[in-house]
Amino acid sequence: MKTVKDYIRTIPDFPHKGIMFRDVTTLFADPRGFRICVDQLLAPYAGLPIDKVAGLEARGFILGGAVAHQLSTGFVPIRKQGKLPGAVISQAYTLEYGEAVVEVHQDAMLAGEKVLLVDDLLATGGTAEAGIKLIERLGAEVIGCAFVIDLPELGGRRKLEAMGMRVHALCSFDGH
């Protein structure tokens, strides 16, 4: 029986030499693989009170929308700066070379709501950390962080767990 990891294609030297890019589009394109992925992402949270699923741009939108649908809850996009049309709050985070900013609508979550954060890849944890901070600034509570892929060598899981987060990843790959 195939696992989620079996559906993920690796592309060497993308976007830079020495990077092994883990391409989840092959997973998304396969109906069985995508179904297995969504079911496994939400399995640890089934039965828990979840008010919203938040997805990190961009592949987190695909996954988060599907997970929210299965959980019969709302979906909230956490987007790159300047992409949301309404009043937003922003959170900067560090990249390998520089800084980036993500945003969420000010009215996307209510104080006390329980939120599941979803994305395809956990690397250094910077984007997820920024998403968590946005959710918490709105007064909501992150009940878990679910990822398809963990790259353990980059330390993202350790960073999120040090923040008190429950981290769930379907598979892991060595290296970057």
One-letter amino acid for residue 77 of the chain:
P
As given in the structure block, the two tokens for residue 128 are 């997820």
Known catalytic residues?
59, 96
CA distance 22 to 151: 10
Q: Any residues with CB less than 8 A from the CB of 42 and at least 6 apart, and which?
A: 67, 70, 71, 116, 146
Residue 92's CB is within 10 A of a number of other CB atoms, namely 12
CA distance 124 to 159: 8
Q: Residue 127: how many CA atoms within 13 Å on its side-chain side?
A: 24
